[in-house]
Structure 1
């Protein structure tokens, strides 16, 4: 995983991690845009895509709140026990 994030990219990543921990789900692109004062959600998408390219996130296409932290289990798999 690359560690050369810009300050803004690091802030966006920290925000996504905090929202996922507090709310139990990642923020929407609009929530990210609102939190950082971006005029449009596509600006948030650009930061999210850069974080994905750097290996910090996985973006699931055509899925609401389709942002996953790298190494995080899928939501449905968290509570499963191996037998």
Structure 2
């Protein structure tokens, strides 16, 4: 009987610790997100990334529309 009670108490400790972690994680996630945004903003300011504007593309498919050079490609042998 004592080994069974020991196992039950051990499981109860882990369940209560897990329940405490989930409630603290929900509260910490919003503060962690806020801190992460502040750090990223400071990093962008120090590196000068906040002064860079979005790049201007010539066209959405300009790379896809370019022809592909296949003159130097090895010959393909078809098998029956």
Structure 1 length-normalised TM: 0.23
Richer in strand (by share) = 1
Richer in helix (by share) = 2
The structure with more radius of gyration: 2
Structure 2 length-normalised TM: 0.24
